[in-house]
Amino acid sequence: MTKSNSLSQGHILALMQADDGIRLNTILKEEGTEVVKCEDIRDLCTRISDRTDAAVISAALLSDPAVDAARSALEAQPEWSDLPIIIAAEGGPDSPVSARAAEALGNVLVVDSPLKASEVKNALRGAFRTRETQRRTRDLAGECERIGRALHDSRAQMERAVQERTRDLAERASQLRSLTGELILSEQKERRRMAKILHDNLQQILVSIKFRIGSVRRIDDPEIKVAIQETEELTNEAIAATRSVTAELIPPVVHEGSLRTAMEWLVSYMAAQNGLEIELKLKEDFERLDRNTRIFMFESARELLMNVVKHARTTSAVLEVNRAGREQLQLQVKDKGAGFDPAAIEEKSGVGLLRIRERLRLIGGRLQIDSTPGKGSRISIVIPMEEPVRIVTAPVEKAVETPIEKKKPFSGMIRILIADDHAVMRQGLSSSLKQEPDIVIVGEADNGKMALDKTRSLNPDVVLMDLGMPKMSGIEATRVIHSEMPNVRIIGLSMFEEKERAGAMFEAGAVDYLSKTCSVDALTTAIRRCIGKPEVPVGRS
């Protein structure tokens, strides 16, 4: 027999009148239950412990002060503990004293006085079962806490391992310190983290290497030229591979652009990679949508479109994003493919849909699936739309307006300012361009605000402007520079070639837009062309 079916080995605190106390001892003597006789209510309260199974109290001894003392003692017990109280009262549950005590003490069972053996034993068995359940709950909670600590330690250990491996790939360990203490809580966070590492470290280093290789091409030794060519080809392959992985994780346009630009990129990407022709219906840009919502919508759209590729047996789909009322945003993917039974999602292709549904549940959204086998499908996601509060900031301080001498047709040295937030990229560009006999580097900037300030003070001929910089974006810095100093030529640089970003740079005033993966020759040609000096300098091989 288990303890819940037997009264043996039980531990009971008793505060009883004489007759009921004698009866209780007689009833439980043969059961082997330990009965601890208490002198008064305070004595009983001090004896309550984890091993106490129940307390049996005569109603006549429960004055108002006694009830208050018992309630205080019970409230001081651990959170898991709700000690069963058995009250012996003349008239049983109808006794006014027992009713008042039951209301104050909570977990109370009232038995009739004088005590009856069967009633007392049944009450105690119920109390023992309740107490056993409480202890099991306590033990499970303790085990969960232990497992939680172990998981926390494992995550911290895994994070340290990730940091160590990443340092082997990157020359800039300082950019990895921000990962210390960060836990990988979700697939989406891991995607963003890995994409950032590839874009901000490895890709910048590879491009810098490519520029440095290009700067030594003029060496005449045939064997060295062959080695340089092979190294450059391998570097190009590595750059292409990292760009592909970054796009699979989460492309930078999702972070830096609007929801429209992100969806347009996705449409182009799905067509190129999977042959899926997508009709995009999006009436607004949703430029003020917060970044987390934008990322969630992008990843959900990608997941749903990949389901079309894998399961719908069709080469076309419709992607639509619109408002669902004033405070909700709806994303819908429709196709006329094979369709499926929504009830069979878990058994077939619904892993991605189930993951989306769980994420929607956390943010108060909903997922609606309309599909019939052989008749295509329509899957809708609706989420709360919280646009960020528009914060009024001080306008960019304009430089004192002084007449700028109009530049004459160019014939001398080309003065270059390099603006990029990656030091290794600035070093690569500077090292390559210094090899050119008609180019001089007059300054460097690691953020958009510094690029603006240095352009004002140095008045360079050309600014090489990275798009994604802190403090002020390259696009905004370009807009201000072009407004104040139209004679300064600005060439936009980016790791990616999205037409939307190029268009934004041209609208801001840039004269050209190049991928950072371009060759040194392509870059120098663009520099000379933009200031009206397209010829290659004499002596350049």
Per-residue pLDDT of 277-325, as tens digits, reads: 999 998 887 777 777 888 888 888 988 998 899 888 898 999 999 988 7
Rg, Å, the chain Cα set: 37
Inform me whether the pLDDT recorded for 368 exceeds 90.
Answer: no
- Residue 429 and residue 349 share a domain: no
| Higher per-residue confidence, 448 vs 217 | 448
Q: Would you state the pLDDT for residue 357?
A: 77
- Residue 122 and residue 55 share a domain: yes
Q: Per-residue confidence at 216, pLDDT binned at 50, 70, 90? A: low
Q: Per-residue confidence at 443, pLDDT binned at 50, 70, 90? A: very high
CA atoms of 70 and 81, how far apart (whole Å): 14
Inform me whether the pLDDT recorded for 516 exceeds 90.
Answer: no
- Give 266-288 pLDDT, tens digit per residue: 898 889 888 999 999 988 877 77
- Return the structure tokens found at 482: 């072009």
Query: Domain residues for 497?
Result: 414-530
- Residue 453 and residue 358 share a domain: no
- Residue 107 and residue 69 share a domain: yes
Q: Residues for the chain: how many in total? A: 541
Q: Which residue among 114, 139, 164 closes a domain?
A: 139
Residue carrying the six token digits 């079309």? 308
CA atoms of 465 and 419, how far apart (whole Å): 5
Inter-residue contact 465 to 248 (CB < 8 Å): no
- Residue 331 and residue 270 share a domain: yes
Q: Would you state the pLDDT for residue 195?
A: 61
- Give 99-137 pLDDT, tens digit per residue: 778 788 888 888 888 988 888 888 888 889 898 998 999
Inter-residue contact 206 to 239 (CB < 8 Å): yes
Mean pLDDT score, 67-96? 87
CA atoms of 348 and 340, how far apart (whole Å): 9
Mean pLDDT score, 422-432? 80
Residue 241 forms part of a structural domain = no
Inform me whether the pLDDT recorded for 525 exceeds 60.
Answer: yes
Residue 460 forms part of a structural domain = yes
- 327 HSE (CA, 13 A, CB side): 4
- Residue 373 and residue 315 share a domain: yes
Amino acid in position 71: R
Residue 50 forms part of a structural domain = yes
Measure CA 348 to chain center: 27
Mean pLDDT score, 76-91? 89
- Residue 455 and residue 491 share a domain: yes
Residue 517 forms part of a structural domain = yes
Task: Tell me how many degrees the CA angle 250-210-509 measures, rounded to the nearest 5.
Answer: 65
Q: In the beta sheet, which residues pair with residue 370?
A: 378
Measure CA 48 to chain center: 47
Residue 170 forms part of a structural domain = no
pTM > 0.75: yes or no: no
Inter-residue contact 464 to 416 (CB < 8 Å): yes
Residue 423 forms part of a structural domain = yes
- Residue 384 and residue 261 share a domain: yes
Q: Would you state the pLDDT for residue 286?
A: 78
Q: Per-residue confidence at 402, pLDDT binned at 50, 70, 90? A: very low
Q: What is the CATH number of the domain that holds 524?
A: 3.40.50.2300
- Residue 286 and residue 366 share a domain: yes
Mean pLDDT score, 427-442? 85
| Nearest in space to 495 (alpha carbons), one of 417, 415, 414, 421 | 421
- Give 147-201 pLDDT, tens digit per residue: 989 888 888 888 888 888 887 766 554 443 333 223 323 556 666 666 666 656 6
- Residue 388 and residue 261 share a domain: yes
Residue 274 forms part of a structural domain = yes
Average pLDDT, the chain: 78
- Residue 15 and residue 107 share a domain: yes
Q: Which residue among 112, 139, 166 closes a domain?
A: 139
Q: In the beta sheet, which residues pair with residue 371?
A: 377
Inter-residue contact 357 to 258 (CB < 8 Å): no
Q: Which residue among 360, 392, 424 closes a domain?
A: 392
Q: What is the CATH number of the domain that holds 333?
A: 3.30.565.10
- Residue 273 and residue 388 share a domain: yes
Residue 166 forms part of a structural domain = no
Q: Would you state the pLDDT for residue 488?
A: 93
Structural domain count, the chain: 3
Name which of 3-17, 242-256, 292-306 the model is least confident about: 242-256
Mean pLDDT score, 418-422? 87
- Give 462-484 pLDDT, tens digit per residue: 999 988 788 888 889 999 999 99
